[in-house]
Amino acid sequence: MLIGAAPFGVIYGTLAISHGLPVWATFLMSALVYGGASQFIAVTLLATGTAAPIIIATTFIVNLRHALYSAALLPAVSTLPRSWRAGMAWFLTDETFAIVFHKLDSGEPVHLARFYMGSALAMFSNWLFWTGMGIVLGHSLPGIAGWGLEFAMVATFVGIVVPLLKDRSHVAAALAAAVVAIAARELPYKLGLMVAALVGIGVGVLLAPKAEDKP
């Protein structure tokens, strides 16, 4: 996963610089927000002149999945002191969740706090390092904004979403969001993105198999 994050960090840093985000802000976003998907979208929205409140609201929606991660990990971490958990929450990302949840799921004995913070800090410093590499690349290749790197971001999201479409409700949610995103693309402030996300969530919830239907 450390290696897997490298291209995203580099592309993020490069895109941010080529779209005119200052170096300090590009780096600080990786440190403060520390969520690749939301950072990509924020940079893209910034480049199109989207208003800050819309970018912040989009960040919230994109990162909302972390609430599910924290809920899933809560039973395992609830015996740890709150001060520890406050720090752990800062570093909760897709990768850290995947690594920790897999470890817990394996049933192997583990010192959870050390394992969590070890993997989380490795991912965090890795993300900052590759962001830095992207910043350097963005500076050394000033014309890189015209290279179509944005498409790498689109391909990445497609690659993340498609394997997750496991039943009809997932596919319907994705299709509904896609149709609404295209239909609503003329809405001001890029609001179409938020409307599409909400419609997708609504369709997914409506069509999701009920808990009592499951064996």
- Which residue ranges make up the site for another protein (CB under 8 A)? 21-22, 25, 28-29, 32-35, 38, 42, 46, 52-53, 55-57, 59-60, 63-64, 66-67, 69-71, 73-75, 77-79, 82, 85-86, 88-90, 92
| Residue with Cβ nearer another protein (43 or 153) | 43
| Residue with Cβ nearer another protein (85 or 103) | 85
At 209, list the tokens: 């198999």
| Residue with Cβ nearer another protein (24 or 151) | 24
Task: For the CB of residue 21, give the shortest distance to another protein in the complex, in Å.
Answer: 7
Cα 92 from Cα 75, distance rounded (Å): 15
Q: Following DSSP, what letter does each residue of 40-78 receive, concatenated?
A: HHHHHHHHTT--HHHHHHHHHHHHTHHHHHHHHHHHHHT
| Residue with Cβ nearer another protein (79 or 143) | 79
The Cβ of residue 69 has, within 10 Å, a number of other Cβ atoms equal to 18
Cα 8 from Cα 128, distance rounded (Å): 11
Task: For the CB of residue 168, give the shortest distance to another protein in the complex, in Å.
Answer: 25
Task: For the CB of residue 146, give the shortest distance to another protein in the complex, in Å.
Answer: 23
| Residue with Cβ nearer another protein (32 or 155) | 32
Task: For the CB of residue 85, give the shortest distance to another protein in the complex, in Å.
Answer: 4
Cα 132 from Cα 136, distance rounded (Å): 6
Cα 150 from Cα 42, distance rounded (Å): 12
What's the DSSP call for residue 209? P
For residue 55, the one-letter residue type is I
Task: For the CB of residue 42, give the shortest distance to another protein in the complex, in Å.
Answer: 6
| Residue with Cβ nearer another protein (34 or 130) | 34
Task: For the CB of residue 51, give the shortest distance to another protein in the complex, in Å.
Answer: 10
Residues of the chain by 3-state class (helix, strand, coil), percent to 5 = 80, 0, 20
